């Protein structure tokens, strides 16, 4: 059987907006409103999960998903950089940031390396049962990048080349060691048929008789 996995990035929070290392900050009001407006865009699934962060759990709630937080889907542990902006860290620790950006095994912040994150997320991904059916996950952007790199068998450094925007979805289908990727569908709310569209439908229906 084939697993059909949809990975949704969270709505905006202070850390996402300021290009910072997450300190479990909540969604901002605009992010909540945007997620709620997109709830109709999320299709039904057999199972729903989320990263354990506040912004992912709140995004799942706003999207109408009864998501179970999963520890293995936590964002990368950033050690002493947690809660700081990338600009501030780069100004204070230029060499350390350079090592972190160039070496996927480096963890100069005292937390988790990019490779360790990919291995952790990849183990969860490959552990999905073949009979899982449709699975929806609201996950941190770095978790989504790690999942995609693992699924495609790409080098860890490729994660830096993947841009994950707020409230977008990517789709994986397959199973362990054989995944196919459908890239970056924006979440668009379902449209109520307009009077013009309904009239056109009735016209086509009559004309086809």
pLDDT digits 0-9 by tens, 55-96: 999 999 999 999 999 999 999 999 999 988 888 999 999 999
Q: For residues 75 and 121, give the distance between their C-alpha atoms in angstroms, rounded to a whole number.
A: 9
Pairing of strands 168-175, 3-8: antiparallel
pLDDT in tens, 158-206: 999 999 999 999 999 998 878 999 865 666 776 644 443 443 343 233 3
Instruction: Please say if the pLDDT value at position 14 is more than 70.
Output: no
pLDDT for 19 equals: 64
Binning pLDDT at 50, 70 and 90, where does residue 21 land? confident
Residues in the chain: 209
- Between 3 and 184, whose confidence is greater? 3
Torsion on CA atoms 175, 163, 43, 13, rounded to nearest 10 = 130
pLDDT of res. 63:
96
Strands of the 68-69 sheet, one edge to the other: 68-69, 47-50, 134-138, 3-8, 168-175, 178-186
Residue 198 has what pLDDT?
Answer: 45
Cβ atoms within 10 Å of 140's Cβ, excluding its own: 25
Cβ pair 47, 175 in contact under 8 A: no
Where does the pLDDT of residue 11 fall: very low under 50, low under 70, confident under 90, or very high at 90 and above?
Answer: very high
Q: What is the pLDDT of residue 100?
A: 95
Q: Which of 1-5, 37-41, 64-68, 131-135 has the highest mean pLDDT?
A: 64-68
Task: Please give the distance of CA 64 from its chain centroid, rounded to a whole number.
Answer: 16
Helices (H), the chain: 14-17, 29-37, 54-62, 86-92, 94-102, 114-126, 141-152, 195-207
Q: Are 149 and 159 in contact (CB under 8 A)?
A: yes
Question: Biggest alpha carbon distance in the chain?
Answer: 74
- As given in the structure block, the two tokens for residue 41 are 């865009």
């Amino acid at each position: 059987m084939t697993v059909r996995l949809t990975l949704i990035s969270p709505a905006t929070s202070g850390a996402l907006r300021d290009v910072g290392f997450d300190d479990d900050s909540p969604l901002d009001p605009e992010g909540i409103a945007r997620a709620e407006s997109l709830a109709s865009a999320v299709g039904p699934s057999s199972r729903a999960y989320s990263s354990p962060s506040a912004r992912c759990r709140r995004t799942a709630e706003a999207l109408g998903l009864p998501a179970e937080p999963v520890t293995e889907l936590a964002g990368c542990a950033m050690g002493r950089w947690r809660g700081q902006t990338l600009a501030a860290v780069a100004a204070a620790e230029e060499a350390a940031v350079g090592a972190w950006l160039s070496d996927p095994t480096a963890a100069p912040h005292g937390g988790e390396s990019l490779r360790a994150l990919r291995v952790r997320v990849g183990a969860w991904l490959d552990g999905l049962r073949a009979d899982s059916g449709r699975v929806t996950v609201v996950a941190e952007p770095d978790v989504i990048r790690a999942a995609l790199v693992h699924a495609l068998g790409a080098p860890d450094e490729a994660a830096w080349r993947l841009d994950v925007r707020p409230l977008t979805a990517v789709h994986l289908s397959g199973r362990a060691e054989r995944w196919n990727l459908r890239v970056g569908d924006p979440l668009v709310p379902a449209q109520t048929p307009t009077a013009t569209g309904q009239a056109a439908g009735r016209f086509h229906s009559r004309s086809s008789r």
